[in-house]
Every structure is written in C-alpha cells, then in structure tokens.
Amino acid sequence: MSLREFLHMSGYAGYVWTAYGLTALVLLANWWAARRIEAEQNVSARRRMTTDKENRT
Amino acid sequence: MDYQQKDAFRILYVHAPSAWMSMFTYVMMAVAAGIGLIWRIKLAHAAAAAAAPIGASFTFLALATGSIWGKPMWGTWWVWDARLTSELILLFLYLGYMALRSSFDDPQRADRASAVLAIVGVINVPIIHYSVEWWSTLHQPASVTKFDRPSIDIAMLIPLFIMIAGFQLYFGWALCRRLRGEILRRERNATWLKEVS
C-alpha cells in the first residue's frame, strides 16, 4: 500500500480520518482537562495554606 | 461482509474500544460508588467521581465514531434502534451523574445521591450489550465477546485487542490524573495535606 492509497482509504478518507482525528482530539482533551483541574486545585490548596498561616500569626 | 466495506472497516479500531470503555468505565464507576456507599470509603466515591467525565467522553466517542461509520455503511448518521438509543442513554446517565454531583454543596450528600444513581443506572449496561440480540437492529451482533469462538478474523482481532488494551491503559492513567485533582479538592482542609506540602 502506497502512502497515497493509505491516505485515500479506498474513498472513505473523510469518514476514517475524521473518526481517528476525533478520537485523538477527545483523548487529548481529557488529558488537558485533568491537568488543568489538578493545577487549579494545587493553587487553591496552597493559597488556603498560606492564608491559614497568616491568620495564625 | 467486511470486504465490502473496503477501508471504512478501519473505524472499528477506534469505535469498538470506545464503546467497550464506555461500558467498562460505567461498571467500574458503579462498583466504586457501591463500595463508597456500603463501606463509607471516601476514596471510592472520589474514584467514581473522577471516572464519570472520562466515561462520558468514551461514550461520546463511541456514538460519534459509530455515526461516522454508519453514514457510508447504513446510509444514515443515526437510527433510533435499541443499540444506539441505549448507548445514548448511557451518555445521559454519565451527564446526569455529573450534574447531580455538582448540584450539592455538601460533598458527602453528593457522594451518596450520585452513588444511588450510578448503581441504578448499571442496569443499562447489559441492555446495551444484549440489545443487538433482543431487538432487530442495523447494528451488527457481537463478534468478539461471545462464548464460542469470535467470528472475526484473527488478522483483525489482534490489532483490535491491542487498541482495547491501549484504551484501557489510557483510562487507568487518565483516572489517576483526575483522581489527584479530586482528592486535592476534597482534602483541602485536611492536616495531612499541610504536612506533605
């Protein structure tokens, strides 16, 4: 199979590559969302700790 | 039949793993919610909460790739048959679970209420699996998860299993990432968090 045939997908290129692209996009979005949530919670937890310390002194 | 599909059958390798993971994740979520409900384990509730958005994304993928596959093969993006409708209900179960969680301010009440929903909703998973046998449908019957030999060629079966294993590993990893954020959110006032920081 040549690269051209591979990309052409016997005429179903639009369907096949859209399905694979969408899958890649969703898997990446999941990773990105998890990272963002973790970072947000990290920041808010640290902020709480510093204000707690300030209140005690 | 598969040779008639030409290269469109390759959508199978993203569609079937997504569909499998959408059900696997739901069962895992319901089991975790059940453990949390019965033994009052906070971490189990956290795991269920972390699994829900990932499961919803797999369900979306299964529906979307199925639709993209359905257009050239069945001539339509969507039909209201048993398999597609029950998978759509699964997506609504995930979204309902997430919405129910976020409607409570008290995390413990959110845990308990959403756990009940998750457990009741698990009845939908066998319905999805057997829908192709119980009702007449455009969707093809199971070709891998059968008790006798799979009716799919070995040359297609091996890459399919590799893809499923990949999706499964991805889920494990994504769940751990989500769980870290979820634990941080729940334990923000805990003393152990101050000690480890």
**Interface predicted TM-score (ipTM):** 0.87
Hey, where are the domains in chain B?
A: 2-196
Q: What pLDDT score was predicted for residue B177?
A: 93
Q: How much is the average pLDDT of B142-167?
A: 81
Closest CA to B47 of B164, B174, B169, B196: B174
Considering only CB atoms, which chain B residues are within 8 Å of A27?
170
The answer to whether residue A36 sits within a structural domain is yes
Considering only CB atoms, which chain A residues are within 8 Å of B61?
22-23, 26
The pLDDT tens digits of the residues spanning A7-57 come to 888 889 899 999 999 999 999 999 999 999 999 998 988 888 888 777 776
| B60 Cβ under 8 Å from any chain A Cβ | yes
Q: What pLDDT score was predicted for residue B147?
A: 57
Optimal mutation site among B4, B21, B68, interface A, most CBs of chain A within 10 A: B68
**Which residues of chain B form beta strands (DSSP E)?**
none
Residue B53 and residue B29 in contact, taking contact as beta carbons nearer than 8 Å: no
How many domains would you assign to chain A? 1
The backbone region for B6, taken as left when phi is positive above 0, alpha when psi lies in -120 to 50, beta otherwise, is left
Considering only CB atoms, which chain A residues are within 8 Å of B6?
9-12
Residue B29 and residue B52 in contact, taking contact as beta carbons nearer than 8 Å: yes
Burial A19-48 (b: 16+ CB within 10 A, else e): bbebbeebbeebeebbeebbeebeeebeee
Q: Is the pLDDT of residue B3 over 70?
A: no
Q: How far apart are CA A14 and CA A12, in angstroms?
A: 6
Nearest chain B Cα distance for residue A6, angstroms: 9
| B7 Cβ under 8 Å from any chain A Cβ | yes
Q: How far apart are CA B79 and CA B71, in angstroms?
A: 10
pTM value > 0.95: no
Q: How much is the average pLDDT of B8-24?
A: 94
- B77, B16, B33, B112 alpha-carbon torsion, rounded to 10°: -10
The answer to whether residue A32 sits within a structural domain is yes
**How many other CB atoms sit within 10 Å of the CB of residue B52?**
23
Nearest chain B Cα distance for residue A12, angstroms: 6
Rounded (5°) CA angle B66-B176-B164: 35
Q: What pLDDT score was predicted for residue A33?
A: 94
Q: Is the pLDDT of residue B2 over 60?
A: no
The answer to whether residue A30 sits within a structural domain is yes
